[in-house]
Structure 1
Amino acid sequence: MGGTTVLDALFFIFNKTMRLQAVTAKNLHVNFEGCKALVVGGTSGIGEAIATRLAQARFNVVVAGRNIDRGNSVVEKLHSKHPKGAHSFLPLDAQYVSDIHGLSNEFKHLDRLVCTQGISTIQARTETREGLDQKMALHYYSRIALAQEFLPLLRQSTSGPRVLSVFSAGVHSPYHKYKEDPDLKNHYSLSNAANATGFYNDLMLDALSEEPENQNVAFAHTAPGFVSTNWGTEMPWYVRTLFVRPLQFYGKTAHDCAEFMSDFLLQDKTPIPNFALLDQFGEPVEPTTMHTPEAKAFIRNHTLEVLAKIHQGQRV
């Protein structure tokens, strides 16, 4: 058993190395001079690494997040990668969906939207001022609100516009009570929250890709795998010490993760179909068995109703 485990680990490392070399070589000289990307959650971790990779590809990058000091520090880093780029920081606490409404007015154009915002806690259901659970707001609703906000600009792009949600594609299970309790008001648990938000990302991005006006926009939900970042800082110290930190020794670097995640972003033609679920290496994965037209229609309608209520100043 031990030998098999070691061999499996060595094969994984070899496979990852070969794939990383291939995707790095493929995108080494791409140049998106003049194109603009918005990376939400880009002040640390995977988001910061993706923002840096996009700057390397000559994107003008806007980094959105809560921490102004961190944001300004990341912008300086982006300028070191692309000195002539028009990089900037956009203050945004994405757990508050209403704060997203109107953000697009600050942009003249947009070519890439990347959502990496999230939180890792073991807290029970914790409602924001808008009535959403905090995890669901960050991992799902804010991402769709951002897509809805910026799709009018993305549709005007001529560089293969793309929307990427970095979360749990191919990793999560379906959430079976999506009709009965879509917002987990009565069936909240950490596993249900993780599965529901991952499942909803799959369904809603697929639904958006099918809208006739979005046929020139590509949508993807991807899973980064385990990455050595500061993930887990919101967890209790004993969880960080005993579980999170030891596991990070085995994770890929944020730089390597960004290379894989950015492969989808560094293409300039809209693929057919224009929706994909991607694994930690940027390779296609299959949706869950409950990824049906019925589930897709239900989540689409429910999500749009929730976002409409919030925009009208109502709690949900």
Structure 2
Amino acid sequence: MVLQYFLPQSLEGVSLAQVRSHNSSLKNLAPGLVAIFVGGTSGISHYTAREFARNTTSSHIYLIGRNEKEAARITQELQTINSSSKVDFIKKDVSLLREVDAACKEIKEKEKKVNLLFMTIGTLTLKGRDETPEGLDKKFALHYYSRMRFIQNLAPELTAAANDADPKANLSRVVSVYDPFIGKKGVPNFADLSLKTGFSLGACATHASAMQNFALERFARMYPATSFIHEQPGGVETGLAKSPIWKPVYFLAKPFLVEKVESGERHLFEATAPRYAPKAKAGGVEDVVIGADGVKGSGFYHLSWNGAASGPSDKETAMRADGAEKKIWEHTEEVYKKICAESGKY
């Protein structure tokens, strides 16, 4: 996407000096950390992968995307930044859940542990519902179903990393870059969670955000040694900034954007800083932030572009009390079952 929104959240965040100080300390972590960047051939994932390579030792980076040419260029760039890093590209169209499963299978055959799962996949479109061969809207699939499928598939490897006996090697974190705040303000249509009949771009944004918020809360409870972050990145120049359609929008918005390098630095901070600790380890962290449920160190966090954490909204609290998480996950499991285990279409 060209823009990932302007900078709407005024919550007090983390200074760039703090970010850079922390990132420079990552060389002290164990060598060989494994990081997966879904959407890694452009934009925020690319910027973050670059900082991950720069600040870690002998890391193994996976880039997942469709653009083989860009992947080759980025691979060379990352290895130039840090010759000790290893970079693998997995070419998949992850708007399809079966392609997500195939990508995860390839990783699981090579890795016993995964330290970071970082996801930015999405598409900027003004079209209406655009159904994939699996029966899901493409935009909605990228923003919700595919991301949660990656987490579900790779949870064992994330848990194995979290349980590493070496405290310098037990980083275990999931970062999903989208926007938790839309889902704090809006309520999904629980009678049509997949938006088969009531699709609109606004409804898609509300559903993808709110459903992701509750799904990540569920994952944090199931896997308390891994932390889960849903982040709104502010305005950032990404791949479509060169598009004739979106170039004028980018030009007008440029004064409000987070610069590319700073975006990568800030996202690396969110992906590694102790203040966003998993629930199982939050007790020993002095500056641990408030969780999305309002509890400090709860293991799932809603962050603004500058690293500021936000507690629950009144609408979220009401939805939680009404069993939103259970309804959303039962629907999600039904989608996965029909597509991945049965007919291949929802």
- TM-score interval w.r.t. the shorter chain? 0.7 to 0.9
Normalised to the residue count of structure 2, the TM-score between the two structures is 0.80
Quote the residue 1:122 is aligned against: 126
Normalised to the residue count of structure 1, the TM-score between the two structures is 0.87
CA contact (8 A) 2:188 2:210 kept: no
Q: Which runs of 4+ in 1 moved over 6 A?
A: none
Pick the aligned partner of 1:193 from 204, 211, 214: 204
Quote the residue 2:171 is aligned against: 160
Quote the residue 2:235 is aligned against: 226
**AA aligned opposite 1:135:** K
Unaligned 5+ segments in structure 1 are: 1-8
CA RMSD in angstroms, aligned pairs only: 2.2
CA contact (8 A) 2:33 2:115 kept: yes
- Separation in 2 of the partners of 1:25 and 1:302? 43
**AA aligned opposite 1:224:** P
- Pairs within 5 Å for 1:156-305: 156-157=160-161, 158=164, 159-211=170-222, 214-231=223-240, 237-238=244-245, 240-267=246-273, 270=278, 271=282, 272-291=297-316, 292-293=320-321, 294-305=323-334
2:62 aligns to what SS in structure 1? strand
- Separation in 2 of the partners of 1:315 and 1:73? 35
CA drift of 1:141 comes to 0.6
- Separation in 2 of the partners of 1:171 and 1:305? 24
Post-superposition Cα deviations, 1:84-121, rounded to whole Å, max 9, x if no partner, equal 11211111211011112124433322111011111001
Pick the aligned partner of 1:148 from 111, 128, 152: 152
CA contact (8 A) 1:23 1:259 kept: yes
CA contact (8 A) 1:169 1:285 kept: no
Pick the aligned partner of 1:135 from 133, 139, 142: 139
- Pairs within 5 Å for 1:12-161: 19-31=15-27, 32=29, 33-58=31-56, 59-101=59-101, 102-108=105-111, 109-157=113-161, 158=164, 159-161=170-172
1:180 aligns to what SS in structure 2? coil
- Separation in 1 of the partners of 2:156 and 2:231? 23
- Separation in 2 of the partners of 1:188 and 1:173? 19
In structure 2, relative to structure 1, the CA distance for the partners of 1:307 and 1:175 (3 Å cut) is farther
1:38 aligns to what SS in structure 2? strand
**AA aligned opposite 1:300:** W
- Separation in 1 of the partners of 2:185 and 2:256? 27
In structure 2, relative to structure 1, the CA distance for the partners of 1:105 and 1:241 (3 Å cut) is closer
CA drift of 1:26 comes to 2.2
**AA aligned opposite 1:290:** K
Q: Percent identity at matched positions? A: 24
2:310 aligns to what SS in structure 1? coil
**AA aligned opposite 2:237:** S
Question: How many aligned residue pairs are there?
Answer: 298
1:228 aligns to what SS in structure 2? coil
- Separation in 2 of the partners of 1:177 and 1:23? 35
